[in-house]
Amino acid sequence: MTQVHTKQTLKSIFGITLLTAIIGLTACTNPDVKARQDIMKNYGDAAKMMGDMVKAPDTFDIDVFREQAAFLDKESKTPWSHFEDTKAVGEAKPEVWSDNAGFISASEDFQKAAADLNMVAQNSTTLAEVKPAFGAVGKSCKSCHDDYQVKKDD
Ligand code: HEC
């Protein structure tokens, strides 16, 4: 019995290792690009959760909204160090580096908007109160993407 158990465990550990290796190879991405894309994906999930509630006010839940706003605020500082290597291109436009001051300024606008949204959310109870600050965050994402992210159809 013990032996069978051990074999199965080894097999599944091997399976997981192999799977991880395959996923890693398929992605074949620079670690900085992967790190910042993962963070941006999480931003996207948080923004979607809040945005869905803004679009469907009867689903508005202040606790969920607060949680997502706190997450965005906390994570708002994390992607930028992954844009330092000029060879880690990913889907960033060359302007990230050729106009680095503009990019940093856009990242700071976003950090301020995210901090403001969190502050407002923690001190509010209604959708009407949080909506303007959420709109400002959305604008700061879009404005940076317009200038610095390669669009799929570019
Ligand atoms: C200061 C600039 C900037 C801000 C602010 C910003 N982004 Fe991004 N975002 C980028 C860049 C540049 C990329 C492309 C990164 C890459 O592929 O290397 C990107 C990529 C993405 C992606 C695609 C990730 C993937 O899977 O490849 C999503 C989703 C995203 N951002 C969502 C958001 C959301 C939501 C916000 C606001 C809450 C936001 N971003 C704020 C610059 C920004």
Per-residue model confidence as pLDDT tens digits over 81-102:
999 999 999 999 999 999 999 9
Backbone torsions φ then ψ of 92, nearest 5 degrees? -90, 140
74: CATH = 1.20.120.10
Determine the distance separating the centroid of ligand 1 and the alpha carbon of 108, expressed in angstroms.
14
Q: What is the pLDDT of residue 140?
A: 98
Establish if 3 belongs to a structural domain: no
Q: How far apart are CA 75 and CA 73, in angstroms?
A: 6
Q: How far apart are CA 111 and CA 140, in angstroms?
A: 9
Establish if 103 belongs to a structural domain: yes
For the stretch 130-146, pLDDT in tens is 999 999 999 999 999 99
Establish if 51 belongs to a structural domain: yes
Establish if 12 belongs to a structural domain: no
Helices 127-148 and 100-122, axial angle in degrees (round to 10): 170
CA-CA-CA-CA torsion sign (152, 79, 77, 105) = negative
Helix H or strand E encompassing 20: helix 2-27
Establish if 2 belongs to a structural domain: no
Say how many domains are in the chain. Answer: 1
What residues are in contact with ligand 1 under a 6 Å CB criterion?
33, 36-37, 40-41, 43-44, 47, 72, 90-92, 96, 103, 106-107, 110, 137, 140-141, 144-145, 148-149
For the stretch 7-54, pLDDT in tens is 666 566 566 665 555 555 545 689 999 999 999 999 999 999 999 999
- For residues 59-75, b (16+ Cβ closer than 10 Å) or e, as one string? ebebeebbebbbbbbee
Predicted TM-score of the model (pTM): 0.85
Establish if 25 belongs to a structural domain: no
SS3 29: coil
Give the number of other CB atoms < 10 A from CB of residue 141. 19
